[in-house]
């Protein structure tokens, strides 16, 4: 029972980490664009 409850939490943490990395990549990408445009 306890193992079953831990699994969704682990998935949520994993997706949050993925989203965080995705946002960092977008931030760096737009930062480079603005840097080269000016």
pLDDT digits (tens, 9 = 90+) for 3-12: 666 677 778 8
Share the mean pLDDT of the chain.
83
What's the whole-number mean pLDDT along residues 11-24? Answer: 88
Sign of the C-alpha dihedral computed for residues 7, 12, 15 and 17 taken in this order: negative
C-alpha span between 6 and 24 (Å, rounded) = 27
pLDDT of residue 22 exceeding 80, the answer is yes
Length of the chain: 38
Going by pLDDT thresholds of 50, 70 and 90, the confidence category of residue 26 is very high
31 burial type by CB count under 10 A (0-12 exposed, 13-18 middle, 19+ buried): exposed
Q: What percent of the chain has pLDDT over 90?
A: 37
User: What's the pLDDT at 15?
Assistant: 83
């Amino acid at each position: 029972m306890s193992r079953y409850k831990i699994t969704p939490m682990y998935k949520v943490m994993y997706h949050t980490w993925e989203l965080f990395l995705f946002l960092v990549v977008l931030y760096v990408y737009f930062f480079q664009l603005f840097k080269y445009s000016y």
